Amino acid sequence: MFKEIIKGMAITLRYGLSRPITVQWPEEQKPATPRHRGRHILHRYYNGLEKCIGCELCAAACPVGCIYVGPAENDPLNPVSPGERYAKRYEINLMRCIFCGYCASACPTEAITLGPQCDFANYRRERTVLTKQELLEAWPKFERSRGDMNQRGAGADQRSTGKSLNPGPSPRLAWEAQADETHEAPLPGHGGIPVNVPGVIDPSEESRA
């Protein structure tokens, strides 16, 4: 019996003298793993337009119903996101969220990902509902740096392409730029039509001739 006590105390001693694995959070931070599913981030394109188009597929995929999206129509001259639609309101209730990442999987534009941040403790209940402004990436990025908050989180790597999507001009803008030719077939280079399509003769050349 005496022998067992010594054996046990030896283990205690051994661990007592080794380096502790406890991290002194929040003074000390551990790097998050690449696919860590923490607080959500709404991303932007390189030109500052929001990736979110307000389609509400994240809200539809959400198993706990913690996402609220209030879509609205883009002002073609001052668009918030590429295309016709954007999210005017985007709210996530972190009290309800189970961080499953379904929203990121459902997103057709890779607008939402789950980031590295996981400390949301708060003294005020209403602060746990994140608004769009809080979720959105800073723009321009240097203006309001949030460190590695802006890194791409879980969900981004679930895509097969890995290429960043080119937002291009707002299709509606492109259409209106054609002024009185709205009822004509689209010109190459506009409305998402590539310029170099073999076999297409640009009818605009004719009008210039």
Q: Does 129 bind another protein (CB under 8 A)?
A: no
Q: Which of residues 86-115 bind another protein (CB under 8 A)?
A: 108-109
User: Taking CB under 8 A as the rule, which mask of x and - marks residues 154-173 in contact with another protein?
Assistant: -----------------xx-
Query: What letter would DSSP give residue 31?
Result: P
CA distance 12 to 94: 40
Q: Which amino acid is at 28?
A: E
- Determine which residue in the list 13, 23, 60, 95 makes contact with another protein, applying CB under 8 A: 60
Q: Name which position in 32, 71, 134, 152 contacts another protein (CB under 8 A).
A: 71
CA distance 71 to 66: 16
Sole binder of another protein in the list 41, 57, 97, 154 (CB under 8 A): 57
The single residue among 27, 126, 143, 205 that binds another protein, judged by CB under 8 A, is 205
Q: Binding to another protein by residue 79, rule CB under 8 A?
A: no
- 63 forms part of the interface with another protein (CB under 8 A): no
For residues 56 and 111, give the distance between their C-alpha atoms in angstroms, rounded to a whole number. 12
Q: Which residues of 87-125 are buried (b: 16+ CB within 10 A; e: fewer)?
A: beebbbeeeebebebbbbebbebbbbbbbbbeeeeeeee
d(CA 36, CA 38): 6
Residue 91 and residue 70: Cα distance in Å, rounded?
A: 9
Q: Which is nearer to another protein, 139 or 175 (CB)?
A: 175
Q: Which is nearer to another protein, 13 or 72 (CB)?
A: 72
- Is residue 99 within 8 Å of 109, Cβ to Cβ? no
Q: Is 23 or 72 the residue whose CB approaches another protein more closely?
A: 72
Examine residue 192 and tell whether it contacts another protein (CB under 8 A): yes
Total of chain residues touching another protein, rule CB under 8 A: 32
- For residue 26, give the DSSP letter: T
**Does residue 186 touch another protein according to CB under 8 A?**
yes
Q: What is the DSSP letter of 67?
A: E
Q: Is 6 in the site for another protein (CB under 8 A)?
A: no
Per CB under 8 A, residues contacting another protein are: 53-57, 59-60, 71-73, 83-85, 108-109, 171-172, 175, 182-183, 185-186, 191-194, 201-203, 205-206, 209
